[in-house]
A and B are shown apart, each in its own frame.
Chain A
Amino acid sequence: MTLQPAPTAPLREHRFPRVRGERHRAARLGSLIIALAVMLPVATILFVALSGTGEAWPHLLRYVLPQSLGTTLILLGLVAMGTAFIGVGSAWLVVGYEFPLRRLLSWALVLPLAVPTYLAAYAFGEFFHYVGPVQTALRAVFGFESARDYWFPDIRSTWGAALVVTSVTFPYVYLTARVVFLMQGRNIADVARTLGARPARVFFRILLPVARPAIVAGLALVMMETLNDIGAVEYLGVRTLTLSVYATWLNRGSLEGAAQIASVMLVIVFLLLTAEQWARRKQRFHSARGTQMHVRPPRLPLRGFKGILATGALGLPILSGFGIPLFVFVRYVSKRLYQFADPQVLQAFLTSVTVASITAIATVVIALLLLNAMRLSRSPYTMALVRLASIGYALPGTILGLGLLLSLAAIDNTVDSAARTYGGFSTGLLLTGTAASIVIACTIRFLALAESAVRSGLEKLPPNLDQAARSLGKTANQSALAVLLPLLKPAILTAAILVFVDTVKELSATILLRPFGFRTLATHVYENASRGVVEDGAVAALLIIATAIVPVVLLSRPLMRDHNT
């Protein structure tokens, strides 16, 4: 049980001395084609941005961007701090200590992921509103008469939006941090402890630095999710860059201007990711023994008041991110139970599950192929390409959907006119406006989730496993399949959960691309909510939450078994 000193960047560790005759041409070419295909909508948006003039910019630079960039950065900062604190703290408690209800809490902490941000914003708005339960209770207790008699923080503000987004996105950090703590936190912590370090010191001096890459990966997902959110900020009246994108596009009729703002967002994200990679170019952490994932680490018991405190501390984020939305929607549903028998809702449910399952499988497979190519390739270009391929997650869903729509329709119409010219028949629109285009959109959109989850796992694996397989005469791909894939199971399951859940929640790209009569749970909620009658979409909202819970529960169990957590 020793730390292995290895002074190179994480994934490069997974490259091997070239074996004579091996070129991995197929793998590299394949991944190149996949990466390019995945970049299609992002590239289209960049192209639209470049095709426009700069006429909107004087106005944007003077009146819009300073303010909305500021708001966006404040929001990102608040959400980053909130999710890092809750995510890392809860992961550490769950992995390192024993206290009442620990097992239940360890998977319940994932539940807030099931709540879409737009629904969370709505639920928080209702919950903390003047006529909501909190303020009504306050007035009853203190005998206030109206809103003018007392001060109550307004949820419709930047801090309110940060609270909402933090409440439903912290599980990204929790999941990635937990995997790391499980896979390797314990043994070095034990070493430190035998040398007399106190738990707090062990956590801050050893575990936090070790988990940093994974925490940053989780935070990157949270940041992208925050950037692409439109539903919550629109509802809460928080002027972010995303909101400016829509105002420029819809009210000033300038798709080019909107694409330009979106491109600026992408550049910011890309720079952040690159800076983060560069900052830890000299750090390496992986466990010396892959097998130790199956070692049962002893947890320190927290007795008495401390244990109750831990239970309470973990219960809070679950109550906030899952309890409040559940409370609000259950109240509406109780008056609308008949809706469960609505054939439309049932159809929407089946469609959602189908699309999400296909998307989850497709996305995870693509992520594995890309990461495998990165493993084999020696070039930093492949790395950059994969990074670029998954950056679409930071774009607002409608904008990414629009990029895909424009490119698919262009391809369809080109094929059609070629068929008309040379074959005398019309192919019509092959992909545009079909269910397939939605699967493609979600796959592209959520590749970042899968890539990030699998990569976190891959970086944790010691390269000598692979090297051992290779020295025994296996090819690189055989070794990947026989050795790495089984070890990556927890990471792959996590990736599949994340993509499935996010696809069930996905609204904006789906609504833009879907065919006639295509209804998912999210579009059903939206159709009812779009005129301010969210109440009527409450049944579908609960179903979204329930549907998203199923894989979380299903896939959390093997995860736990693997690690005996």
Chain B
Amino acid sequence: MLTNKLIAARAGLAALVAAGTLATTLPAAQAEGTVNIYSYRQPFLIKPLLDAFTEKTGIATEVLFLDKGLEDRIAAEGSNSPADVILTVDIGRLMNAKEKSITQPVEDETVNSEIPSEFRDPEGHWFGVTTRGRVVYASKERVEQDTITYEELADPKWKGKICMRSGQHNYNIALFASMIAHHGEEKAEEWMKGLKANLARKPSGNDRAQAQAIYAGECDLGIGNTYYVGLMINNEKEPEQKDWAASMKVLFPNSKDRGTHVNISGMAMAKHAPNRDNALELMRFLGSAEAQSIYAETNYEYPVLPGATVSETVQSFGQIKPDSLPLAEIAKNRKAASEMVDRVGLDDGPAS
């Protein structure tokens, strides 16, 4: 019977703690000097930026990190939503937010002067703050060539040598959407079939896992984002990742013609932002030289601010020439790309 008392005591204690928790976690919708951020970007990634912002402006930040359904949550909350600013990766998600009518247009000279027009929505519904290239990781040992094109990934000479993460992942969907934009659906599908035939294994894991697979000798080429390489090279806690990165080189595809496919991480102002002025302050800050250099140095991303410096690690990969096709054009083909991945059965791997 002692256990019963114990359980009862614990329940009582829990209820007390809960009452406290509930009281302190009510949504702080409108507070003087606060900005509420709904973010698809990881907290540890944006924390240095937000700390710098608070130090500079005195405006406190509240972050809500979500992995899925951010747009749906803001839409459901409606006019009572506490969200001021939306932070996310992937052009598709930014456009999706605009389409769902959860953003509002921002016309601000400062923001517009910081962010080049190719990285923002013509109506001001979203702004890119960093870019990253979707590049080819190639084994130093087993791959001799130092240039490559996306088209070449379908060449039978790479049969059984390519690794990648799921074709349905945002980053790959955007890459395939850019292939559709450049070559049309029919040709892009032929290409995707060729790519599938060249896979070494079923698409799985994340971008870093592809580097690990090259190190392990499972494949010679991997598809991944630029900043992962920076993170691996400088990983002091798991030094074996330095070995993974050291076993491969970064090839910027199509640098001799149209350029490498880049995607953005970006920001948007929520439609019913209760703290509009503070939100605007934050948006101006994220485009500023100070914030742009933090992005570059801590996360190895490319800043969008003209003239901002790239981290030394990233410079060591070589010069990136971004594909000049407008991102909005690419994003239009996302649904077609996603359906193509199903049709081709890319995620079933090479055997099927």
Contact among B11, B96, B335 for A357, CB-based, below 8 A = B11
Chain B residues near A15 (CB-CB < 8 A): none
**A416-452 at interface with B (beta carbon < 8 Å):** 416, 426, 428-429, 432-436, 439
Is A479 interfacial (CB 8 A cutoff)? no
Are the C-beta atoms of A354 and B76 separated by less than 8 Å? no
Binding stretch for chain B, among A4-12, A182-190, A298-306, A506-514: A506-514
* A255: interface (CB < 8 Å): yes
**Residues of chain A with a CB closer than 8 A to B96's CB:** 253
A contact residues around B62 at 8 Å (CB): 516-517
Residues on A with C-beta less than 8 A from B78 are: 409, 413
- B202 x A157 contact (CB < 8 A): yes
Choice from B25, B44, B166, B339 contacting A527 with Cβ under 8 Å: B44
B68 touches A413 (CB 8 A): no
* Minimum CB distance partner of A507 in chain B: B67
Which A residue's beta carbon lies closest to that of B76?
A409
A251's partner among B72, B170, B228, B345 (CB-CB below 8 A) is B170
C-alpha gap A515/B28 in the complex (Å): 9
Q: Chain B residues with Cβ under 8 A from A361's Cβ?
A: 11, 14
Q: Is the CB of A237 within 8 A of B11?
A: no
A167 is an interface residue with CB less than 8 A from chain B: no
* B218 interface residue (CB < 8 Å to A): yes
The answer to whether A354 and B18 have CB atoms under 8 Å apart is: yes
Nearest chain A CB to B141 CB, angstrom units: 10
Q: Which of A229-251 contact B (CB under 8 A)?
A: 234-237, 239, 243, 246-247, 249-251
Q: Which of chain B's residues has its CB closest to A433's CB?
A: B27
The answer on a CB contact under 8 Å between A154 and B27 is no
Is A20 part of the contact surface with B, judged by Cβ < 8 Å?
no
Question: Do B80 and A412 have beta carbons less than 8 Å apart?
Answer: yes
B6, B65, B208: the one within 8 Å of A554 (CB): B6
Distance in angstroms between the alpha carbons of A259 and B48 in the assembled complex: 38
Residues of chain B from 298 to 352 with CB closer than 8 A to chain A in the complex: 334-335, 338-339, 342-343, 345, 347-348
Q: Determine whether B271 belongs to the interface, using a CB cutoff of 8 Å to chain A.
A: no
B237/A428 in contact, CB under 8 A: no
* Partner of A526 from B36, B67, B237 at Cβ < 8 Å: B67
Is there an interface contact between B77 and A409, defined as CB atoms closer than 8 Å?
yes
1/0 contact string of B234-260 vs chain A (CB within 8 Å): 000110100000000000000000000
Question: Using a CB-CB cutoff of 8 Å, which residues 524-550 of chain A contact chain B?
Answer: 526-528, 530-533, 535-536
Say whether A237 contacts B204, CB under 8 Å.
Answer: yes
The A-contacting residues of B in range 161-204, CB under 8 angstroms, are 166, 168, 170, 173, 201-204
Pick from B51-59, B209-217, B275-283, B286-294 the stretch touching chain A.
B209-217
Partner of B42 from the list A148, A530, A554 (CB cut-off 8 Å) is A530
Complex CA gap A548/B143 in Å reads: 48
Q: Does A375 contact B (CB under 8 A)?
A: no
- The answer to whether B343 touches A63 (Cβ under 8 A) is yes
Report, as a range, how many residues of chain A touch the other chain: 35 or more
Q: Which of A83-91, A123-131, A322-330 contacts B (4 or more CB under 8 A)?
A: A123-131
Interface assignment of A146: CB less than 8 Å from any CB of chain B = yes
Contact (Cβ within 8 A) B68 A508? yes
Q: Does B43 contact A (CB under 8 A)?
A: yes
Closest A residue by C-beta to B34:
A516
Chain A residues with Cβ under 8 A from B238's Cβ? 535
Indicate with 1 or 0, residue by residue over B68-95, a CB within 8 angstroms of chain A CB atoms: 1100110011111110000000001000
Partner of A130, one of B67, B77, B218, B348: B218
- In the assembled complex, which residues on chain A have CB atoms less than 8 Å from the CB atom of B173? 251
Which residues of the other chain, A, contact B44 by a CB distance below 8 angstroms? 527-528, 536
Chain B residues lying within 8 Å of A14, measured Cβ to Cβ, are none
Residue of A147, A335, A398, A405 near B216 (CB, 8 A) is: A147
B147 at interface by CB-CB < 8 Å: no
With a cutoff of 8 Å between Cβ atoms, the chain A residues found around residue B73 in the complex are 405, 433, 512
> Do A357 and B10 have beta carbons less than 8 Å apart?
yes
Q: B202 contacts A237, CB within 8 Å?
A: yes
With A64-B342, A251-B338, A517-B62 already in contact, the answer to whether A125 and B205 are too (CB < 8 A) is yes
Q: Is A406 an interface residue (CB 8 A)?
A: yes
* A234 surroundings in chain B (CB, below 8 A): 166
**Known: A64-B342, A354-B21, A433-B27. Contact between A130 and B201, CB under 8 A?**
no
B17 to chain A minimum Cβ distance, whole angstroms, is 5
Please report the C-alpha to C-alpha distance between residue A235 and residue B77 in the assembled complex, in whole angstroms. Answer: 31
B68 touches A512 (CB 8 A): yes
Q: Does A557 contact B (CB under 8 A)?
A: yes
Residues facing A in B83-141 (CB within 8 A) are 92, 96, 99
Q: A59-B342, A146-B217, A554-B3 are in contact. Are A515 and B212 (CB under 8 A)?
A: no
Query: How far apart are A427's CB and chain B's nearest CB, in angstroms?
Result: 9
Is B66 an interface residue, CB under 8 A from the partner? Answer: yes
Q: Are B25 and A130 in contact (CB under 8 A)?
A: no
- Residues of A within 8 Å of B203, CB to CB, are 237
Contact yes or no, A236 B66, CB < 8 A: no
A532 touches B25 (CB 8 A): no
With contacts A247-B168, A251-B170, A527-B44 known, is A357 near B14, CB below 8 A? yes
Among residues of B, the one whose C-beta sits closest to the C-beta of A408 is B76
Q: Which residues of B contact A107 (CB under 8 A)?
A: none
Shortest C-beta distance, A483 to chain B (Å), equals: 18
- Contact (Cβ within 8 A) B338 A247: yes
Is the CB of B64 closer than 8 A to any CB of chain A? yes
Does A292 make an interface contact (CB < 8 A)?
no
Q: Hey, what's the 0/1 contact readout for B212-235 against A, CB within 8 Å counting as 1?
A: 110111100000000010010000
Partner of A413, one of B45, B80, B168, B335: B80
Known A-B contacts A239-B347, A354-B17, A531-B42; A154 and B201 likewise in contact (beta carbons under 8 Å)? yes
Chain B residues whose CB sits within 8 angstroms of the CB of A530 once the complex forms: 42, 67
> A146 to B72, Cβ gap below 8 A?
no
Ordered by A's residue number, 16 sampled pairs between the chains whose C-beta atoms are within 8 Å are: A59-B342, A63-B345, A67-B345, A146-B216, A147-B216, A335-B237, A353-B14, A354-B17, A358-B18, A361-B11, A401-B69, A433-B82, A435-B25, A436-B22, A511-B68, A532-B209
List residues of chain B with CB under 8 Å of any chain A CB: 3, 6, 10-11, 14-15, 17-18, 21-22, 25-29, 36, 42-45, 62-69, 72-73, 76-82, 92, 96, 99, 166, 168, 170, 173, 201-209, 212-213, 215-218, 228, 231, 237-238, 240, 334-335, 338-339, 342-343, 345, 347-348
Given contacts A67-B345, A237-B347, A555-B3, 14 further A-B contacts (CB under 8 A): A63-B339, A63-B342, A156-B204, A247-B168, A247-B338, A251-B168, A429-B27, A511-B66, A514-B64, A516-B28, A517-B25, A530-B42, A533-B231, A557-B3
